[in-house]
């Protein structure tokens, strides 16, 4: 199993999915972390030149076609992962990730390796109330 976490520094979990520049991907076998790699992550800095999309009346940020395309490009880098751990994200990104078969978990655990070990043990808090 592969578990990804968003990060600004490759050690700690970023508080914002869209702004984090990295994914740290840990491979878990038989309840142990056996490999770790860092992957670049598309995000706000990548899409800054595109600006914010103009929303149609009644359309919510994160659900518009432009946001959905951004979410797809962010998810492609971790398409081999079952889980994504973040400190926070928007509801549109959360729903998009689920649609790609990636389970997003929002947590207050700060250190990536600790969060992954707690997930493996079934003790990682999933704080959905942190969704924007």
Tens-digit pLDDT profile for residues 75-122: 999 999 999 999 999 898 999 999 999 999 999 999 999 999 999 999
Alpha-carbon 39 to chain mean position: 12
Supply the pLDDT for residue 73: 86
Supply the pLDDT for residue 56: 61
Which H or E run contains 48? none
Which of 86, 114, 101 is CA-nearest to residue 20? 86
Tens-digit pLDDT profile for residues 16-54: 998 899 999 999 999 999 999 999 998 656 544 555 556
Give this prediction's pTM. 0.86
Confidence of residue 60 (pLDDT cuts 50, 70, 90): low
Please, what are the domains in the chain?
2-48+61-130 (3.30.420.130)
Q: How far is CA 97 from CA 56, 57, 93, in A?
A: 23, 25, 6
């Amino acid at each position: 199993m592969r578990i990804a976490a968003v990060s600004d520094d490759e050690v700690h979990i970023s508080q914002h999915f869209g702004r984090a520049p990295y994914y740290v991907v840990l491979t878990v076998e038989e309840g142990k972390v056996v490999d770790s790699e860092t992957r670049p992550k598309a995000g706000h800095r990548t899409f800054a030149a595109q600006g914010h999309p103009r929303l149609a009346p009644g359309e919510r940020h994160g659900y518009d076609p432009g946001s959905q395309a951004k979410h797809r490009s962010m998810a492609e880098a971790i398409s081999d992962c079952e889980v994504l751990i973040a400190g926070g994200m928007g509801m549109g990104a959360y729903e998009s990730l689920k649609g790609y078969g990636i389970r997003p978990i929002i947590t207050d655990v700060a250190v990536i390796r600790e969060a992954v070990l707690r997930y493996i043990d079934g003790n990682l808090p999933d704080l959905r109330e942190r969704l924007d």
